[in-house]
Amino acid sequence: MAERCAVVGLGQTKYDRCLRVTMDGLVREAALKALDDAGLTFADIDAIVLGKAPDALEGVMMPELSLCDALNAVGKPIHRVHTAGSVGASTAISAVTLIESGMYNTVLTVAYEKQSDGDFMWALSGGKSGGQGAGGSFAPWIRNYIARSGAPEHIGWKVAVKDRLNALKNPLAHLHMEDINLESVKESPMLWEPLTFYEACPSSDGAAAMVMTNKAGVKRSSSKAPPAWVIAHAKRTELAVYPGRDPVKPLAGVDCAKELYKKAGITDPRKQIDCAELYVPFSWFEPMWLETHLICEEGDGWKMVDEGATEIGGDFPVCMSGGVLSSNPIGASGMVRCLEAANQVRGTAGDYQVDGAKVAMGQAYGGASNYFAMWIVSSDPDPTFN
């Protein structure tokens, strides 16, 4: 790579049902927070990369056109990425390549969703067909995971409780469920067998933004926190349907992780990565992704959950911020995973900081579990792994 990319500014709005501002206000708020964190202004930005999930969610076609003023993009390049649910992470990765290419010095990347401005279920089903919702698509695969792995039913409840308790430490999280416990998750209404209401993500509004720059730019930035260096990134896509496809452990997810670790020089991800923000919109995806991304052996993902390994304080904390289960601004959710990984290695994660985190992973998936995008960030621009 020509240039190493550093993340020097992070910005997020509060995640909620946000009727206080427009989409313009939402993205600008996140952008200004990220610039402030970086000690930079819009004048320092050479290009903007915007991501969000389907335009139909808010009913705005190619929203980069109407949001360019709010992002001070007038006179600059603004690029728009859309790769389904993985889009936030894909957008971050596209922004990284702008820096790595040597063509741009400092880039602002922003992702958002404003679900309250639209109707997700309507949009997801193309407006007419009814539609089973995302959970309805994923539940059969989750049942298959349970059948294959022999995981006990409380695993899903346990992930739901862990992520909501983590969210209590994150003031920006949408859900703050003080009283959540295994029993309340189990007793919440059944949505898509085996997923209960409390095992599903909320519908959130929100935006996330990051400022990225090269080595010279790090010196110009006056951020109080150290940079997070992007050590590796990878993306993989496979067909949504093909004979022999395994949607429980998609080959694209396996290949993406292999490529990521190879680029980073990681040989033992569970040991060499300090923590991860994985895209877990329904509880069971935590053990499923731990296995798909080779963090543990096949069939052992649920055991990591059961042993508490993925809690803050465990040996491989997952979704310290509360994850997608606590806030799901769809188009932004993948970027939030990448951003929160950077937050950890910068040591700025506050109450949900993992002690001594130096290497963190951000991951997102999308579509019919056929899109994957991931990155590894580190406090060290050239970490070595033993």
Nearer to other proteins, 66 or 267 (CB): 66
Q: Does 242 contact other proteins by CB under 8 A?
A: yes
Q: Does 64 contact other proteins by CB under 8 A?
A: yes
Site for other proteins in 19-38 (CB under 8 A): 22-24
Nearer to other proteins, 84 or 173 (CB): 84
Q: Does 171 contact other proteins by CB under 8 A?
A: no
Q: Does 62 contact other proteins by CB under 8 A?
A: yes
| Site residue total, other proteins (CB under 8 A) | 64
Find the length of the chain.
Answer: 386
Nearer to other proteins, 241 or 386 (CB): 241
x-or-dash pattern for other proteins, window 72-111, by CB under 8 A?
A: -xxxxxxxxxxxx-----x---x--xx-xxxx--------
Rounding to the nearest 10 degrees, give the CA dihedral for residues 317, 320, 324, 325. Answer: 90
Where does 208-282 have alpha helices with state H?
215-220, 251-264, 269-272
Q: Does 308 contact other proteins by CB under 8 A?
A: no
HEC assignment per residue over 112-123: EEEHHHCCHHHH
Q: Give the chain's radius of gyration (CA, Å).
A: 19
Q: Does 235 contact other proteins by CB under 8 A?
A: yes
Distance CA 8, CA 300 (A): 36
Element containing residue 211 per DSSP (H, E) = strand 205-213
Buried b (16+ CB within 10 A) or exposed e, 26-37: bbbbbbbbbbeb
Q: Does 124 contact other proteins by CB under 8 A?
A: yes
Q: Which stretch binds other proteins (CB under 8 A): 122-130, 137-145, 215-223, 352-360?
A: 122-130
Min separation Cβ 324 and other proteins, Å: 18
Q: Which stretch binds other proteins (CB under 8 A): 27-35, 55-63, 167-175, 266-274?
A: 55-63
Site for other proteins in 357-386 (CB under 8 A): 367-368, 370-371
Secondary structure (DSSP) of 328-378 = --HHHHHHHHHHHHHHHHHT--GGGPPTT--EEEEEEEETTTTEEEEEEEE
Q: Which stretch binds other proteins (CB under 8 A): 68-76, 147-155, 195-203, 346-354?
A: 68-76
Token digits of residue 170: 């994150």
Where does 221-322 have alpha helices with state H?
251-264, 269-272, 285-292, 301-307
Distance CA 185, CA 224 (A): 40
- Check: CB of residue 50 under 8 Å from CB of residue 64: yes
Point out which residues bind other proteins (CB under 8 A). 1-2, 22-24, 54-62, 64-69, 73-84, 90, 94, 97-98, 100-103, 117, 123-124, 126-127, 234-240, 242, 245, 250-252, 255-256, 259, 367-368, 370-371
